[in-house]
Amino acid sequence: MTTIINNSELLFIYDAKMTNPNGDMDNENKPRMDYDTDTNLVSDVRLKRYLRDYFEKQLKEDIFITKNAKDAKERGTQIKNANKTHKDLIDARMFGAVFAATGGNDHLTGPIQFNWGYSLNKVELNESSTITSSFSSGEGVGKDYRVKYSVIAFHGGINANTAKETQLSDKDIGIFDKAMINAIPFCRTRSKIGQAPRLYLRVEFSDNKTFLNDLREYIKFESEDELTIRSIDDFKIDISKLTEYLKNFSGRIKTVHYWKDDKLQVNGWDKLEQNFTSKLNEINPLEE
């Protein structure tokens, strides 16, 4: 497989309704929040966990961060005994890994990275209800906190120079694009059901030198009252500024790969289509 040679910038938006996108174990497992701005937070680790679970359980890919090992040292030993390297592990090729084994550490920086996600709207938490769980040792009692409605946006990037070390391939990127759309719906646990992908953009450049600002800075969330929205029908996203920003790099942009939920109302999408007509590639998440 050929290692990728082009950088990419990523924008991913999904929504969460009466669910817990990312519980904070240090705060009663409440959804992570920035209480100064009333915005919902989701770590990059949580997003990568969705993707890893999808690779392992749905695609039957061998991954590094698996529940089949108690820690990195044990996983490193398993990989060594199986005569494997990071090239055999799709998540290591994408996100990197620290292979801890007897004799030292082998650290790989992943070419695909995200910063923390945050909600584009102000978010209210649903009042907690007390839940009970039955175990062989007895009954446990806990709290169940959820967001009423959150529209979460992530920005990320793919560094082709770093990909040389992990040997991330074009085939891997094709798998990654589809996983970004399929992974969250695949994770239908009790606390995570109620989330759906709404928009995915991967702006692929024709070089390994171009990087952009956080793409979320150029999108605008529009609604009559952020705290009362409860569905995708209650808001719009304006990407007009994003399109203008991308136009500055049109000579360096090779392809704009995208997927958009038909229900998502996007102002400025026509401008994106007009400016990048010959460079648009719609992703089919169901395609084998």
* Per-residue model confidence as pLDDT tens digits over 167-195: 999 999 999 999 999 999 998 887 889 99
Does pLDDT of 103 surpass 50? Answer: no
- Between strands 33-34 and 30-31, the pairing is unpaired
224-242 average pLDDT score: 95
Query: Pick from 187, 184, 186: which is nearest to 198 by CA?
Result: 184
Does pLDDT of 104 surpass 70? Answer: no
The pLDDT score that the predictor gives to residue 69 is 76
The pLDDT score that the predictor gives to residue 98 is 80
The pLDDT score that the predictor gives to residue 287 is 75
Structure tokens, 29: 């497992």
56-63 average pLDDT score: 94
Does pLDDT of 17 surpass 90? Answer: yes
Percent of the chain with pLDDT over 90: 76
The pLDDT score that the predictor gives to residue 288 is 67
The pLDDT score that the predictor gives to residue 102 is 45
The pLDDT score that the predictor gives to residue 204 is 98
Does pLDDT of 135 surpass 50? Answer: no
Q: Residues 6 or more apart from 170 whose CB is under 8 A from it?
A: 1, 2, 4
Does pLDDT of 96 surpass 90? Answer: yes
DSSP string, 103-172: TEEEEEE-SEEE--EEESS---EEEEEEEEEEETTEEEEEEEEEEEEEEEEEEEEE-HHHHHHHT-BHHH
* Domains of the chain, residue spans: 8-59+110-121+149-282
Higher-confidence residue: 85 or 285?
Answer: 285
